A and B are shown apart, each in its own frame.
Chain A
Amino acid sequence: MSDQTVVVARHRTFSFSRLFAITTNTLTELTRLKVFYVLLVFALVLIGSSIFMAQFSFQQEFQILKDVSLGAMSIFTSLLAIVAAARLIPQDVEDRTIYTILAKPVPRLEYLLGKIAGVLLLLAISTLVMSAVFLFVLYAREQSVIQMTLRQMSGAPREQVDDALRAIRSSALNIDLFPGIIIIYLKASLLAALTLFVSTFATTNIFTIVVMAFIYFIGHLQATAREYWLHEHSSGWITRVFLAIVALLFPDLQAFNLVDDIVAGAAISIALFLKTAVLGIFYTAIYTLLAAFVFYGKEL
């Protein structure tokens, strides 16, 4: 071995370079998983095949196409978030790679942030790919319906044709889809952060996934249960504190379900979109901090 000096940058408490190294490595790790491709291909096939599911009026056809596609995107990004985030820390512990990483001058917070950033990047890529396929299918059907309508209304007055085309365009590809897709992504991010938090004290991947399956269902049902509880029982401060704790532990996932409104053709108000987006970011940040707190004191 030569005696040349190795130039190592002065240690910094927080380094984006280290964070980037862990993030890109996590993304590489996750894209090598077969389950990622299985889920993605399955979602894409479902979105693509939704084109054949409706043969009624064009409104119904577009409604079903959006319903199936956005529903598939929501379920598959949620599944991917849970499956991907559940394995990261337990796998590194099992393979002992966590020892070699944390024995380097890498703070635990950076390691954890790198891991969650890798999952969020994977979810962003998956959401983009699914959205591209969905929007392409929707656009193709819209063009097909427009051509068909133009042929059928070849002798009709100009205003009537314009009205028909406006009706088609407003029920197909419209701007309201994008906030819906962003909220689907934020819901998956929230689930990824929560899964990472559970995995910091879980001993196996299976345990984490089972716990997350329960949280997923409770999260979707808790809003209804809360309304029922407040309606049937007194709404004293103890009840409210208890419900607030439940709401923090089990996020109200139903609040992220804007798909139904979008499919029904109702425009999402900017206030509702911002409120839901901030809630998603807040939950993601809180669960990441909780994960960092537990992971900081974890014996490896």
Chain B
Amino acid sequence: MTDPAIAVRGLTKIFPIPFHRQSIVAVRDLDLRVEPGEVYGLLGPNGSGKSTTLKIILGLVSPTRGCTEIFGRDSRLVKSREAVGFLPENPYFYKYLSGEETLRFFGRLCGLGGAGLKNRMDELLELVGLTNARKRRLGTYSKGMLQRIGLAQALIHDPRLVVLDEPTAGVDPAGSREIRDLILDLKRRGITVLLSSHLLAQAQEICDHVGILADGVLVREGRLQELIAIENQTELVIANASSDLVEEIESLIKRSNAELVARRRSTTTLEKLFLDATTERPRS
């Protein structure tokens, strides 16, 4: 049996407040499993514990209780990060470096060098559409360009897992679509993607699995299509149906105990699921 890309077991993170007896529970008893090759969306309102969870998975924050693993390795171990690429929310990077200098710096941190690194830089700059801007300093880059160079640095060492924190935050619709296409390309290549997002429509387009966090608790988790399906309804998608056929079907429904709810889509939206999941718990 292969190791999951990410395994989180009984994770709790409590932040003590200095000079106070109280503390903040950012994440509570979280269990999560991300299988290799899938796109997993971690969703939740601000302050729900998404970023803390990602930081614990990346070894940037230590858990109060529980454990996290990346491909079977304790994620507190530096070695576990060989398999991970990370793009933080609104990345800034060193603005005095050019696009290619940024990739060279991060490549060297991952043990790359020589012609291999140069080829990889060329390939990634082409992939994210920044070949023409490779010599420009990051200080002159737009937000969308920063996000794309951020994605390129996350991929520099060809990781098996990519963690993206709000990858399309602040990016215009066209740039957002480009990033979405890049994520789908990663998925086609078998790379596991864990992303946190507020853009639910986009998450619905690309995620295989979703988990919804509210107040540090995982309130919904599962395969996206199963989560957004409505259990007592059936959707028939018929091509080239004549009006007679449609009327016949409707009359058949009337004769039985069933009820025709709609003649179009019968699934809910991810946005509705998200809001239902996050508003049914009183905020503390």
Contacts and interface: CB of A to CB of B under 8 A. Distances in A.
Given A1-B189, A99-B86, A100-B153, A299 B106 contact: no
Interface string B53-90: 00100111110000000000000001101101111111
Interface string B91-105: 111101100000001
A8 interface: yes
Interface in B180-223: 185, 189
Interface residues of B, number: 46
A17 B86 CA distance: 21
A105 B87 CA distance: 15
Contacts of A21: 105, 108-109
A12 B110 CA distance: 10
A29 interface: yes
A7 interface: yes
B134 interface: no
Given A6-B116, A299-B62, A100 B150 contact: yes
B162 to A, nearest CB: 11
A158 interface: no
Given A6-B116, A96-B90, A11 B189 contact: no
Contact of B78 (A1, A2, A107): A107
B29 interface: no
B211 to A, nearest CB: 20
Contacts of B189: 1, 3
Nearest to A96: B88
A270 interface: no
Given A1-B127, A95-B92, A99-B60, A18 B150 contact: no
A157 interface: no
Contacts of B59: 102-103
B250 interface: no
A105 B153 CA distance: 13
Contacts of B111: 8-12, 15, 17-18, 105
A28 B137 CA distance: 13
B82 A11 contact: yes
A29 B116 CA distance: 26
Interface in A82-109: 95-97, 99-107
Contact of A2 (B58, B82, B96, B123): B123
Nearest to A107: B78
Given A1-B123, A105-B81, A300-B55, A9 B112 contact: yes
B35 interface: no
A99 B92 CA distance: 11
B78 A11 contact: yes
A297 interface: yes
What interface size band does chain A fall in?
Answer: 35 or more
Contacts of B90: 96
B153 to A, nearest CB: 6
A91 B113 CA distance: 27
A101 B87 CA distance: 10
A32 B61 contact: no
A11 to B, nearest CB: 5
B271 interface: no
B109 A104 contact: yes
Contact of B108 (A13, A18, A99): A18
B109 A300 contact: no
Interface of B: 15, 55, 58-62, 78-79, 81-82, 84-94, 96-97, 105-106, 108-113, 116, 119-120, 123-124, 127, 150, 153-154, 157-158, 163, 185, 189
In order of increasing CB-CB distance, the 8 nearest A-B pairs are A9-B111, A103-B86, A6-B158, A95-B92, A21-B108, A300-B60, A105-B81, A99-B88
22 contacts: A1-B124, A6-B157, A8-B157, A9-B112, A15-B111, A17-B113, A20-B108, A25-B105, A32-B96, A95-B94, A96-B89, A96-B91, A97-B93, A99-B58, A100-B93, A100-B153, A103-B81, A103-B84, A105-B110, A105-B111, A299-B15, A300-B61
